[in-house]
Structure 1
Amino acid sequence: MMMGSGQRGGFRALVALLLAFFPAFIQAQNPAASTFYLEETETQFSLNLANDSSGDVFIYFASPAYSWVGVGFGDGMKNSLMFVMYPNQKGDNVTISPRTADGHSEPSFTSKPQISLLNGTRVTDDGMFVLRARCSDCRVWQGGFLDAKNTAHPMLYAFGPGNRLQSNDVNAPLHRHIRYGKFTMNMVAATGEGAVPANTTASNGVQMVGGMTRDHDRANLAHAVMGCLALFVFWPLNVIFAGFFRNIKIHVGVSVFIMVFLVSAYGLGISTSSEYNRSKSFTSPHQILAFLTILPILLTALLPVKPVSHIHALLPRIHTPLTTLTFVFLVLTGGLGLHLYAAPTSIILAYTAISLLVFIFNVLLQTCIKRRGSAYARATLRRRLGEEDEQDLVLAQYYANRKLEDERSRSPSAASSEYHQHARSLSGGAGGAAGGSSPPGRGGMFGGGSMPGPQYLLNMHPGVPWRPGA
């Protein structure tokens, strides 16, 4: 069937109309956006800048459910504006927290940007965070601004550790990131009619700056490890050295070693406190008790010093109870530190069990030492009384036994000859002094000389008669 000229003209007009509205339709479905997509983690952050007078910024943010994940505007953490996302209390939706940082430390919540969650914001069944939001008044913030004319705006991203974080609080404490990196984003390409960008796996208007960097919280780890070694390894060893070793220098040396570990742990804890909002002001129970424990630590170290111990006779006696009190304070301080760090429950239970075992071990040892006295105290008391040292007595007995064994190992003839020679020397010496030799039967050991012989001694014992020549 042939189409008339009028029909052909109407058809051309319809096609032209559709072609005119098709780009607008496509743009409405896929608004202007710059997209950052990280294939390693399947993380997408897309940005749309509304070109109207509202100045709104539309965000599509999706990522696997780490404890938290964040993307920010800036070349570094200082003076940057970051959007940090983590699951809510129920775990079925997300909490979005705009934050700023004044350095390389945990960012703090800022209330200036107003974020409205839109339909589609959720935690998916396969554990993905999905955020669809409109941000008002977020192009300028304290210390920085979003440059809509910049084709390579500096950006950064970071991922929290695997620890579970579920909170509705926009001020929720964050663990230090385990991975982070940088990229640039084309803000000109992101500018257009305001709408939430679409889900995609293709980057657009983004240039990566280096690779993803793995981070380590070594200072906090060293702080915990050094404190645990001092309490659970060197402390009970020092109790053993103090009670069962006479050389007091070993106890003193290990005590100094423990002090070095504790001072290092204190220094590391103070240096890392500025990295977290919950510890910047030094008002947490962990920090307060740690500072209070410094006093018994110093007293424990100073009481054994002679000028201090001689002030009063009771001072040396409180050294042992004070060490027990110091140990308890330090263990409680460590437990509060685990709570402050939001450590996993398994770590807290293991710490509690080890603390109880070491405490019981120390108490039993100290009770035993108190009853029998320390080896050093016993040795000191013997020296004051002028008695021989226990070790000297053992050595003397050892040499006496050796001499006796040597005498017994000789031949009987040699021993008998030596014995009679010794006897004749005794009797001969006495007879020589009298001026003559002794008669037979009256010399040697059977009398003679100036000393009474065994005959006289036998007569002194009733019931044992003596006969001459017997």
Structure 2
Amino acid sequence: MFRFGEGFGMGRGIAVLVAILAILPSTILAQAPAASTFYISDTETQFSLNIANDSSDVSIYFTSPAYSWVAVGFGENMKDSLMFVLYPSKDGKNVTISPRLATGHSEPGHENSIQLEALPGTGIIDDMFVVKAVCKNCRVWTDGFLDVKNAAHPMIFAFGPGNRLQSDSLDAPLRRHVRFGRFTMDMQAATGKSEVPGASQALAGVTFDGEMTRDHDRMNLAHAVLGCLALFVLWPLNVVCAGFLKKIGIHIGISVFILVFLIISYALGIATSGEFNRSKTFTSPHQILAFLSLLPIVLISILPFPRISSLHTLLPRLHTPLVSATLTLLILTGGLGLHLSSQSTPIIMAYTAIALGVFVFVVLLQTCIKRRGSAYARQNGTSARRLRGEEDDEEDLVMKAWKVGRGMDGTHGQSQSQQSFGSGQQGQQGHGRGNSGGNNLYGGGTMPGPQYMLNMHPGVPVHRW
């Protein structure tokens, strides 16, 4: 049976419960810090920002996969943007937080004026970067500032390549990003009591279309590919053509292609150098050795010209040593370039193996050509001895030219000599019989007769008895 008192008590309980439920959301919201949150579900990347309304502090909560480096920056483009770049520490157990500024569309450099204090809970947890930090002076920086009144402040983010970067240095070299994007963040919604935001998987005060742009470092890739094609494909092919083909034009043509590939590779390398802090000043071992390699390349290119090669007999003999020196310098330059670009160990080992194989192959070919002479030289009657710089005697050259003009080869000349020598023997026998038979010729005895002299020196009169 329903009783009034009981019904009244139950009504009061329901009313109290409704009141509590009504107050609870406002209480929770009052306790939650003011923050704007950016979140990417594909990578579970979160960047939350809190701007203190009673100080200049800026609190951040930043998480992302710890496979390489990841960055978030204040600005519409890289130029003049303040960025927070995260990458693993040297031991791989902690996270390095590097505040950086970009002066253009290039690798940002560490900014010493930005003071970032990491709080407890920062580190690598379950293969994820976790950063809880407070920045003391992040609102103003060189050529830029954080507009705390902007409800749609432009922001950028980027992800590095898959290879692992581990360093304690705040200015560690970064490889070019593979993905990047833009979003806007409401700074007014992020302003409130100073407190580090918590983990969240929901966008708050952020506009993001969900698109990430895939980036390609095509210029640097073309620089490496063209250089490798010139060294490991065209170079040994050119040596084979020079040693075993009789067409000197093919050798010259391939040499021109090698020179063109190297020129383009140098130009691309110079253009790429401006994108990275480690190469902007052109003082790295890779760049220094590359510039030193230009000297033998230029000498190889100009020495074959007749006006230059005829200046001294030693100049043509410099070709082979210069070719070997240039190949060695360029191979070493390529290896240092892989180190400069922070390539992975398997790529460096593969390059080393290919470089050693090509170098040994080219050296063996050049040794073989030096001993036997090139096909073009043998076709034109030039021996390996002359290729080494030992010129034939002038009289020998004259006799060779004279024999060619008379149509005499070694076999024919030997036959004529034997016949003439036989005539001399007949004359000797006639002379021994008392100089009878008026057809006897001078030249009896063991020397060839005048008929042989006639063959050798046309026009010389032959005297008879």
What is the TM-score of this pair, normalised by structure 1?
Answer: 0.77
1:418-460 deviation per Cα after TM superposition (whole angstroms, max 9, x unaligned): xxxxxxxxxxxxxxxxxxxxxxxxxxxxxxxxxxxxxxxxxxx
Q: Which residue of 2 aligns with 1:155?
A: 155
1:128 and 1:187 mapped to 2: Cα distance? 26
Distance 1:85 1:297, change over 3 A: same
Give structure 1 stretches of 5+ with no counterpart: 3-11, 394-470
Q: Which residue of 1 aligns with 2:46?
A: 44
Deviation, structure 1 residue 210: 6.5
2:342 and 2:103 mapped to 1: Cα distance? 23
Q: Which residue of 2 aligns with 1:321?
A: 321
Q: Which residue of 2 aligns with 1:75?
A: 76
Q: Which residue of 2 aligns with 1:116?
A: 117
SS in 1 for 2:207: strand
1:42-90 deviation per Cα after TM superposition (whole angstroms, max 9, x unaligned): 10000000110x2100000000113100000000000111100111111
Deviation, structure 1 residue 21: 10
User: 1:111 is matched by which residue type in structure 2?
Assistant: N
Deviation, structure 1 residue 306: 1.1
Which 10-residue stretch deviates more, 94-103 or 15-24?
A: 15-24
Q: Which residue of 1 aligns with 2:352?
A: 352
1:32 equivalent in alignment to 2:34: yes
Q: Which residue of 2 aligns with 1:374?
A: 374
Give the greater-gyration-radius structure (CA): 1
Alignment of 1:28-427 (within 5 A): 28=31, 30-52=32-54, 54-125=55-126, 127-209=127-209, 211-381=211-381, 385-386=400-401
Q: Which residue of 1 aligns with 2:416?
A: none
Distance 1:382 1:148, change over 3 A: closer
User: 1:219 is matched by which residue type in structure 2?
Assistant: M
Deviation, structure 1 residue 25: 6.2
What is the TM-score of this pair, normalised by structure 2?
Answer: 0.77
SS in 1 for 2:202: coil
1:140 and 1:152 mapped to 2: Cα distance? 18
User: 2:39 is matched by which residue type in structure 1?
Assistant: Y
SS in 1 for 2:96: strand
User: 2:59 is matched by which residue type in structure 1?
Assistant: F
Q: Which residue of 2 aligns with 1:7?
A: none
2:193 and 2:21 mapped to 1: Cα distance? 20
Q: Which residue of 1 aligns with 2:440?
A: none
1:188 and 1:227 mapped to 2: Cα distance? 53
Percent of aligned pairs with the same residue? Answer: 62
2:228 and 2:79 mapped to 1: Cα distance? 34
Deviation, structure 1 residue 27: 3.1
Q: Does the 8 Å CA contact 1:182/1:210 hold for their aligned counterparts?
A: no
User: 2:103 is matched by which residue type in structure 1?
Assistant: D
User: 1:93 is matched by which residue type in structure 2?
Assistant: N
Q: Which residue of 2 aligns with 1:416?
A: none
Distance 1:18 1:350, change over 3 A: closer
2:69 and 2:177 mapped to 1: Cα distance? 9
Deviation, structure 1 residue 111: 1.2
Deviation, structure 1 residue 188: 0.5
Q: Does the 8 Å CA contact 1:303/1:309 hold for their aligned counterparts?
A: yes
2:90 and 2:303 mapped to 1: Cα distance? 51
User: 2:332 is matched by which residue type in structure 1?
Assistant: L
1:35 and 1:18 mapped to 2: Cα distance? 26
Aligned residues: 380
Considering only aligned residues, what root-mean-square deviation do their CA atoms show, in Å? 2.7
